Amino acid sequence: MASRLLWASRAASYLRISVFHRGFSSVIKDLKYADSHEWVKVDGNSATIGITDHAQDHLGDVVYVELPEVGVTVKQDASFGAVESVKATSDVNSPVSGKVVEVNEELSSSPALVNSSPYEDGWIIKVEMDNAGELKKLMDADQYTKFCEEEDSKH
Amino acid sequence: MIQQQGKKVGLPLMNLVRLNRTPILKQLHLEEKLLRKSSTNWCIINDGTDTPAIVMGISGKPSELLEIGSVLRDQVPVIKRFTGGGTVVVDKGTVFVTLICNKDDVPGVQPYPRSIMSWSGLLYNQVFKGIADFQLRENDYVFGNRKFGGNAQSITKNRWIHHTSFLWDYAEGNMAFLKQPARAPEYRMERGHTEFICRMNEYLPRTDFIEKTTEAVETYFSVKNVNLEATEEPCGAEFVPSTRLLSKQELEEALGPQPEIIGVSV
């Protein structure tokens, strides 16, 4: 058991995934995180956005994703869409401001990708950022991990 | 501790609005506005809606959920609401109870569907204590294994709404507008509507239910009765709800092409 845990820890390190065992939610090292549990992957001026493993785990099985239209503007901290799970719609908020340049159409037919692959195939929108400085307001992986632990410990 | 009538020291404030036969579309528009634009906690109790209507959740598809031919023939309004969840037929026999809360005013409840649902189960446990075999079962309120209350929610960054349609009474004929849903709770066990649901009026008087619900809410909030005009003040006029009435054209398109009936001369 101990050797298996060690292997898992080394594999996680190689893949740049932090695994904290409380709730078993994963956090990816090179992403930035909002306190409303969205992640953003930055590549130049382009931002790919989705919801975190922590969020999808707490939401339950996603059955529907409401996507914005390509071309609309999004504002940091403001809602741009929603996911439906259990009996609820939950807002998805943008970690950055900018213009939506692509949406993940796959989610219309396969909303469960948000659960099974929150950081990869379950991405939701891509945004052309208009103010990269906003990234400073977001958390890094370690800060987000701690944030989730604190939030869960209150309940 | 000194307690003023209707106020409990230390509890967050909740405005209680009592409505009677307010149209469900108007109620839903009000709720969506208060969720998005207000920063106050609200409880809305609407004692029935004026005329029968079908209300679907945000992702509802008429072709999958409704007997569209019957709906069009009887001209029943079909509404798509802003919350998740399933499809209901509502009328004057439906009692609606809605809670709109700041997440920080309900400590111990995380702003996620299961946590909010679980808390609501505790609240209604107080309402039905000693009356019937009440349970929260797979997101429905049931007596035994029969559903009498359906729930739905919407969760924003700092607030959430949990609203329930309670089957005080219902017309069996209205259930014929609904198909058996593909997504159904396990405890339903493929029962048809009339075998699956039950009427609350067989268990307690209507006034008792509303009174006990108000009392249960008062254990969590300092409740203040307000009138409908109070809902206008904090929100202003500029809000466009997503909840809407589906058009006849949309329903006809969902029905798809119908076979042409050719008369035969004899």
Collect all residues with Cβ–Cβ distance below 8 Å to B186 and sequence separation of at least 6. Answer: B138
What is the share, in percent, of chain B residues with pLDDT greater than 90? Answer: 78
ipTM metric: 0.90
Signed CA dihedral, A107, A113, A114, A115: sign only: positive
Instruction: List, for residues B45-61, the tens digit of each pLDDT value.
Output: 999 999 999 999 999 99
Q: Which CATH architecture has domain A2-154?
A: Beta Barrel (2.40)
Name the closest residue on chain A to residue B164, using Cα atoms.
Answer: A87
Lowest mean pLDDT among A12-21, B148-157, B221-230: A12-21
Cβ <8 Å between B155 and A89: yes
Is the pTM above the cut of 0.80? yes
| Residue B38 identity (one-letter amino acid) | S
pLDDT at A22 over 90: no
Q: What is the pLDDT of residue B170?
A: 92
pLDDT at A15 over 90: no
Q: What is the pLDDT of residue B131?
A: 84
Task: Between A62 and B108, name the one with better pLDDT.
Answer: A62
What is the share, in percent, of chain B residues with pLDDT greater than 70? Answer: 91
Q: Does B236 touch chain A (CB under 8 A)?
A: no
Collect all residues with Cβ–Cβ distance below 8 Å to A146 and sequence separation of at least 6. Answer: none
Buried/exposed code over A120-143 (b: 16+ C-beta within 10 A; e: otherwise): eebbbbbbebeeeebeeebbebee
Of B85, B110, B157, the CB nearest to A87: B85
| Residue B16 identity (one-letter amino acid) | L
Name the closest residue on chain A to residue B87, using Cα atoms.
Answer: A87
Mean residue pLDDT across chain B: 91
Cβ <8 Å between A63 and B83: no
Distance of alpha carbon A100 from alpha carbon A40, whole angstroms: 13
**Distance from CA of residue B199 to its chain's centroid?**
16
Quick count: other Cβ atoms within 10 Å of Cβ B247?
A: 10
Lowest mean pLDDT among A3-12, A32-41, B78-87, B249-258: A3-12
**C-beta separation of A52 from A24 below 8 A:** no
Mean residue pLDDT across chain A: 89
**C-beta separation of B37 from B239 below 8 A:** yes
Cβ <8 Å between A90 and B114: no
pLDDT at A6 over 70: no
Name the closest residue on chain B to residue A63, using Cα atoms.
Answer: B59
Signed CA dihedral, A130, A134, A135, A138: sign only: negative
Signed CA dihedral, B36, B23, B47, B140: sign only: negative
Task: Between B20 and B130, name the one with better pLDDT.
Answer: B20
pLDDT at B21 over 90: yes
DSSP state of A11: H
Q: What is the pLDDT of residue A2?
A: 40
**C-beta separation of A128 from A98 below 8 A:** yes
| β-bridge pairing B134-137 and B94-102 | unpaired
pLDDT at B116 over 80: yes
CA distance A140 to chain B (A): 20
Show residues of chain A in contact with B117, CB under 8 Å. 86-87
Q: Which pair of structure tokens corresponds to residue B77? A: 């309004």
Domain extent listing, chain A: 2-154
CA distance B83 to chain A (A): 6
pLDDT at B149 over 50: yes
Q: Choose among B93, B88, B80: nearest CA to B51.
A: B93
**C-beta separation of A134 from A106 below 8 A:** no
DSSP state of B233: T
